[in-house]
Amino acid sequence: MLRLGGREFDAQEPVIMAIVNRTPDSFYDQGATFRDEPALARVEEAVSEGAAIIDIGGVKAGPGEEVSAEEEARRTVGFVAEVRRRFPDVIISVDTWRHEVGEAVCEAGADLLNDAWGGVDPRLAEVAGRFGVGLVCTHAGGARPRTRPHRVAYADVMADILRVTVGLAERAVSLGVPRESVLIDPGHDFGKNTRHSLEATRRLGEMVATGWPVLVSLSNKDFVGETLNKPVKERVLGTLATTAVSAWLGARVYRVHEVAETRQILDMVASIAGHRPPAVARRGLA
């Protein structure tokens, strides 16, 4: 079972996490949801399209202008509180690696801390344990926040992913994070080149076999762009293909920009797998 906020998801129920960036320089939407009203409209749209989780981020992942913890909190804390007020049933996630920000957003109503940088601040897991919220444990290959990989190498990338993420997950539980609220993430593009991210996708079943629910953050990433030689705005088809493969291999949560398209992909895979009946089944029955 996966339990986040006040909701429970069974083993065959894929979960969509919609990205809402509170940054002026996000790589994909170029700051479209930096201001409050467009961001709140994005939340409403994502929920209506089938997102169960809203993932709010105050610092873009890549290099750029320095963003202090105080500024990150300013961009996210009040927004978390407003999303909680307007959408009481939605699961609120915050993408942060800083324990100070994690504490502030949990006080404002966050249900999940999405640590995309692999526990670089070990106190973040302590915050999750103290508040009893969920935690995403990600493999980032030891990379520092907001840095790009440079000539990174692994003897076995999946073995390293498993060692790091399972270790982080077990530590989180020891600190009080509910076991059913801990997810592991292979960290596509984080501390990895394109071949590493492709291999992580191909071998995703090994993560699923650990028993920890697996989150994948694939949406329009560089490994998709390099694989297909496509710029950021032309990576949706590659993202959806990777999503379908990940769903077939057993991933549970999908962090995405395109919610409606992802919902169709996940529903189709679930129906092929026999976990979901067709929405309509008239052909050959009349």
* Enzyme catalytic residues: 221, 255
Alpha helices in 156-278 (DSSP H): 157-174, 194-202, 204-208, 222-228, 236-249, 259-273
- Closest Cα partner for 174 from 209, 211, 135? 135
Rounded distance between C-alpha atoms, residue 13 and residue 15, angstroms: 6
- Closest Cα partner for 116 from 225, 17, 217? 217
Rounded distance between C-alpha atoms, residue 95 and residue 26, angstroms: 13
Half-sphere exposure of 267 (CA within 13 A, CB side): 12
CB 255 within 8 Å of CB 19: yes
To 5 degrees, how large is the angle CA 36–CA 54–CA 272?
140
